[in-house]
Amino acid sequence: MRPAREYLYNLVTGKIRGPIAVFLRVFLFLLSLIYGLVVIILVAFYRRKPVRLGAKVISIGNITLGGTGKTTFVEYLSRLLSSQGKKVAVLSRGYHRNTSKQGVQSLGDEPAMLQKKLTGVAVIVNKNRIKGASKAIKDYAAQILILDDGFQQWRIFKDLEIVTIDAADPFGNRRLLPAGFLREPLSALRRADIFVLTQVNLVKDTVELRDKLKCLNPQALIIETIHQPDGFTGVSEPDELLSVDGLRGKNVLIFSGIGNPQGFENSIAGLGINIAKSFRFSDHHDYAQADIDGVIQEARRLNLDTIITTHKDAIKISELKIQGAGILALNIKLGITKNEAEFSRRLLKLYSL
């Protein structure tokens, strides 16, 4: 995590104390009030006459900053719809992409990962989702458009609005940016058709969260999901799948540059693997060779012959020099544990509209 970003995170979460911190939090709170007012005005303006894209539109987004398992659900839904014979396209903004470069950086890490993992699904990267939709329909005859990170795409008409929520930390400190992590007021959740609670296996229960969501939006369907480890692949040899049991009891070094590094660390530890050291880079971190060299050197210093990262990070470092470093990527698959049948019925209803 970059120093400025880390300081801001520690400030808004109350980890930094003292009179200066109190003053800064008050200042950020005042800014959040202005931000909230602007958001309310923009939502009201854009939603007066939303743009129809010419195909069925499913939005998958979140109301907070950070990782909520959104991309994993985009992958799950894309596979599901594609397996049912639908022509699917994912529309992504390509956050943190660098159009002046080639390969992964030209797309952005998440679209690059989706493009690599999803066969038969078009992944269209364009900051303007309306233009991206036109390309998907014209060039790929897409029948269903999945808006990746689409909850704040207020201009676009959506046939189905899905919001992913991290069951372990659903709303942060419940304050709007920049005083907290909310992109919109919690009242915006009334727009959702489906709530996807992610990583429910990491919490004792979801009763309180479900009750809160039902109060905000009684009509929305609530489904629960878990992220299941599905083996490891070598970053240098991505076609070779290794069993999750092969590393049980082993000491490893791990690193990640994602919105929820704690979830990744919990997944590794839950497999019975001993984490000797963990490096946390900022979300969407652009890895340089020096970063990976530092990770590899630390592993060697600790006499560790295995390094583990996320699939998203593996895509980003695949163009760097990592031969012989023993870096593995943890594959994750999503499973619906509650209300899967009702979710399928909602999708079936969408097809018939």
Location of structure tokens 């709530």? 195
**Which is more confident, 69 or 339?**
339
Q: Is the dihedral of CA 193, 142, 94, 322 positive or negative?
A: positive
Query: Which of 184, 191, 322, 172 is closest to 260 using CA atoms?
Result: 172
Q: Where are the alpha helices (DSSP H) in the chain?
A: 3-12, 19-46, 70-83, 104-107, 109-117, 129-140, 207-216, 261-270, 289-301, 311-317, 340-352
- pLDDT per position as a tens digit, 213-258: 999 999 999 999 998 888 999 887 777 778 888 899 999 999 999 8
Distance CA 118, CA 39 (A): 34
- pLDDT exceeds 90 at position 66: no
Q: pLDDT-based confidence at 63, cuts 50/70/90?
A: very high
Kindly state the percentage of the chain with pLDDT values over 90. 70
Q: Which amino acid is at 235?
A: V
- pLDDT exceeds 60 at position 99: no
- pLDDT exceeds 80 at position 2: no
Adjacent-strand bridge partners of 164: 196
- pLDDT per position as a tens digit, 267-276: 899 999 999 9
Quote the mean pLDDT of the chain.
Answer: 91
